[in-house]
């Protein structure tokens, strides 16, 4: 069954994987997006993710359903974390299982690319010099020129 959630607590990878898998599947894929220690040549110490949760969960579920439809399966799970994260913590987990690996990779890639385009989740990078900056996102079609970052 397709699963999608926006969470505040650390993501449990095994739990995400538990939503996918079937006897007919020959591939199971887990993608983890993690907070890295640099961005655009600047040292990063952490990240804050904020979301419009009432909208984010349905959009995330819609993206997961679209990915499942692309591969003809309901074995897609995606979890996105919000709040303050440190280096190495998982911000997004995508699990997909399918009879063949190509479909699993395609579905996972589709989910992460659509998250970047459509999900109302914003990230603020924390730099080692103490500065904090919102990361520029992608403006969804039809959104006009309005800002997509909190506080703007």
Per-residue pLDDT, averaged over 63-74, amounts to: 96
> What pLDDT digit, counting tens, does each position of 105-140 carry?
999 999 999 999 999 999 999 999 999 999 986 554
Quote the CA–CA distance of 90 and 12 in Å, as a whole number. 9
Does residue 150 belong to any structural domain of this protein?
Answer: no
Contact 78, 1 (CB under 8 A): no
The CATH number covering residue 46 comes to: 3.90.1170.40
- Residue whose structure tokens are 């992460």: 112
Question: How far is C-alpha 87 from the geometric centre of its chain's CA atoms?
Answer: 16
- Whether 140 is covered by a domain: the verdict is no
Q: Is 106 domain-assigned?
A: yes
Q: Per the domain annotation, does 56 fall within a domain?
A: yes
The whole-number pLDDT of residue 147 equals 42
pLDDT the model gives residue 152: 47
Residue 111 lies in a domain: yes
- pTM of the entire structure? 0.89
Query: In the chain, how many domains are there?
Result: 1
Residue 4: how many CA atoms within 13 Å on its side-chain side? 22
Does residue 97 fall inside a structural domain?
Answer: yes
86 inside domain: yes
Q: What is the mean pLDDT of the chain?
A: 92
Query: Which is higher by pLDDT, 58 or 140?
Result: 58
Residue 145 lies in a domain: no
- Structural domain range at position 113: 3-134
Q: What angle do CA 16, 75, 8 make, to 5 degrees?
A: 30
Of the candidates 78, 105, 99, 113, the one whose C-alpha atom is nearest the C-alpha of residue 27 is 99
């Amino acid at each position: 069954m397709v699963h999608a959630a926006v969470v505040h607590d650390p993501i449990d990878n095994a739990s995400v994987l538990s939503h996918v898998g079937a006897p007919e599947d020959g591939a199971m894929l887990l993608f983890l997006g993690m907070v890295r220690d640099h961005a655009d040549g600047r040292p990063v110490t952490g990240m804050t993710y904020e979301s419009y949760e009432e909208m984010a969960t349905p959009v995330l579920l819609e993206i997961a359903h679209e990915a499942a439809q692309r591969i003809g399966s309901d074995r897609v799970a995606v979890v996105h974390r919000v709040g303050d994260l440190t280096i190495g913590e998982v911000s997004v987990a995508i699990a997909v299982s399918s009879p063949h690996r190509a479909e699993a990779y395609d579905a996972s890639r589709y989910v992460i690319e659509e998250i970047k385009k459509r999900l109302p989740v914003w990230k603020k990078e924390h730099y080692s010099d103490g500065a904090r900056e919102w990361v520029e996102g992608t403006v969804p079609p039809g959104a006009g020129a309005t800002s997509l970052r909190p506080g703007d």
